[in-house]
Amino acid sequence: MNTTPRSAFPDWHGTTIIAVRKNGRTVIAGDGQVSMGPTIVKGAARKVRVLAGGKVLAGFAGATADAFTLIERLEAKLEQYPDQLARACVDLAKDWRTDRYLRRLEAMLLVADASSIFTVTGVGDVLEPEHGVAAVGSGGNFALAAARALSDHTDMDAEEIARKAMAIAADICVYTNGNLTVETLD
């Protein structure tokens, strides 16, 4: 059992990931900033991945090594349940919650295919947004609010909304920058 107090670990921040689905198009965008306390240690990290032969997008917030472990597990679930993203996410969340090793991982995933978006967490949540927009990370709430407003009140497409919402988040959140990785599914 890890008895090291959480405060002994570095104070890592610096991710905003957003998923937007509009008019049959799904986009996940992520910024590139990684910070340790008040210091930016990397400005162009790639936190969005294409999985399942281009059918699934995933973005992550949290500890990078933990997120990579989860993405690898998700890829295995997608191979086990092809074209069943919801089932793969639920199975991953179950494993994440019950496996002693996985339970300690500190990350969140945004996962999407052409028809669905899910937020997957280590407490067993697999959440599908009501409004076609989901976000995680330090600037997630800023990006989410901006994207919801833009989606409901403009004719912008999914990618334009994601990019503008990320720009707004970067203007507000000191742990978010404008170096974006954007992946799209039609």
Catalytic residues: 15
What is the side-by-side order of every strand in the sheet holding 16-22? 133-137, 16-22, 25-30, 181-185
The H or E element that residue 136 is part of is strand 133-137
Tokens 């991953």 belong to which residue? Answer: 92
Angle 50-56-58 (CA atoms, 0-180°, nearest 5)?
Answer: 60
Tokens 């957003």 belong to which residue? Answer: 18
Q: Are 17 and 23 in contact (CB under 8 A)?
A: no
> Distance (Å, rounded) from C-alpha 53 to C-alpha 39?
36
The H or E element that residue 95 is part of is helix 85-98
Tokens 């400005």 belong to which residue? Answer: 43
Structure tokens at 43: 């400005």
> Distance (Å, rounded) from C-alpha 58 to C-alpha 10?
25
